[in-house]
Amino acid sequence: MHEAAVRRVVIVGGGTAGWMAAALLARSLGRECGIRLIESAEIGTVGVGEATIPQILHINAFLGIDEDDMLRRIHGTYKLGVQLNHWGRLGDSYIHAFGDVGLPLGLLPFHHYWLRSRKRAGAPSLWSYSLSAAAAAQNRFARMDKAPDNPIGSLRYAYQFDAALYAAYLRERIPDGVVQRTEGKVVAVNLRGEDGFIESLQLQSGERVAGDFFIDCSGFRGLLIEGALKTGYENWQHWLPCDRALAVPSVRTTPMRPYTQATARSAGWQWRIALQHRTGNGHVYCSACISDDEAAAQLLANLEGEALDDPRPLRFVTGMRRLAWNRNCLALGLAAGFMEPLESTSIHLVQSGIARLLALFPDRHCDPALVDEYNRQTRFEYERVRDFLILHYKATERDDTPFWRQCGAMQIPPALAHRIDLFRRAGLIFRDGEELFAETGWLQVMLGQRIEPAHYHPLADELEESKLQAFLADIRTLVNRAVERLPTHDAFVARTPAQGDAPLARAKGTAPSAPMASAP
């Protein structure tokens, strides 16, 4: 370790972001670098959601987590995608399912052959060719690797869980002595005069905590990245107009659906997430179009089981920090930015933020070239996720409320407008570099919300009609055969009983999730 190496990393804030950062840094840096996490039991955490996307499996593999043990301890279930209801028109329903749709043939993506096939009356829907969508429709699930006799592939999945319990689980798995937890509140941030780097933190107890590199996981307030370094915040509310949410747990119902539900309401949307011990519910809405009382009434009227608490409020402004890494401070989670949980990206953005930090890990000088590259990659990721979310609002034919009329008429980022135009003209979808959502994700949302291509690729006409129909029928047969072998989601989750494990405390020494003040 050279003399300028980072030897002290200080994380401010616990919750999912803080403890995920601590666990991954501990696993990567071992005992070569001191890691200290400061959190206060008096400051509640928001909790960045109860649903995830498949990339979280990479974290668990890296940390050596046993999936059965984790889900048993944190009351988790499995997720095959997001069912979206009433987004295109009232009464519409489709699923953005994980994994592939169909099989490629020759040089063309599958959907061009499917688009050609739709000329026939009674042609099956796109989702008939998705293993995840078909399993979700029947509430079936199992971990399924690719079979030698079935080219359809494996069942791609993620998790639905209590985010606070997941944070506590990560904390429990960190070896003793690798991460030092300090209970306390930061009351002052001391900057170096010569370069404005953070030098130390002053705690309410009087203790001074020095560090070489600081990670801000303090939530919306951005205690370090904004409070001390005045980094600035880019507001995206003109594209993503929802600015408030209400969350409430309800009694568990059966079956436990292996997918998240996002149901559009009059001025926003409502989530429903099945956990082993309860159902998570929430209403994300635009306060300019509906009052808090009306939003709460809509939420409570559309629960499937009895509410277990009063709705918990949250206020936010969608957007991102102008710099996620500023001087010797990196922001993660809500301190870095916020995009509503419509596609369950919050935990992933923490995960990818830590991965980028490890790939570009600095010395104490924080080379500006590394900082600039980190910020460039972060902005690319956030903006592409942002555009995918905007698509859900823009691609609507609803005109029944002022909110939906506003969404349908809004001006959108040029890159998104170009994507929509390419698809509408010729059914073309191109993935932009390493952006998060692949072609199948864009395909499902655009078709699910009634963006219809005028044409498919002309090469799709080269296949004889009889061969095309046989090709499509074979895929449906393979999908149906695979799904028929799967147990129900409830049965699969129940196959690993608790075996006497005590449930995790919501977090050792931390308060339960609590309402937060407005985001910057």
What is the DSSP annotation of 25-83? Answer: HHHHHTTSSEEEEEE-TTS------SB--TTHHHHHHHHT--HHHHHHHHT-EEE-EEE
- Specify whether the CB–CB gap between 204 and 212 falls below 8 A: no
Q: What is the 3-state secondary structure (H, E, C) of 383-402?
A: HHHHHHHHHHHHCCCCCCCH
**CA 130 and chain centroid, separation:** 21
User: What are the φ and ψ backbone dihedral angles of 269, each rounded to 5 degrees?
Assistant: -155, 160
In eight-state DSSP terms, residue 188 is E
Question: 98 vs 22, 79, 199, 372, CA distance in Å?
Answer: 29, 9, 44, 32
Q: Which two tokens stand for residue 486?
A: 């799967």
d(C-alpha 449, C-alpha 420), whole Å:
12
CA within 13 Å, CB half, 380: 14
Q: How far is CA 86 from CA 95, 271, 291, 420, in A?
A: 12, 13, 21, 20
Residue 119, both tokens:
């000329």
- How far apart, in whole angstroms, are the C-alpha atoms of residue 454 and residue 299? 38
64: left (phi over 0), alpha (psi -120 to 50) or beta: left
Angle at 220 between CA 218 and CA 223, to 5 degrees: 45
Start-to-end CA span in the chain (Å): 39
Is 146 designated active site? no
Neighbours of 147 (CB within 10 A): 14
CB 275 within 8 A of CB 165: no
- 260-265 and 81-85: which strand pairing? parallel
- Strand locations in 197-356 (E): 198-203, 208-210, 213-216, 233-235, 244-250, 260-265, 268-274, 279-285, 312-315, 319-321, 325-326, 329-331, 337-338
Closest CA to 53 of 334, 349, 325: 349
Q: List the catalytic residues.
A: 79
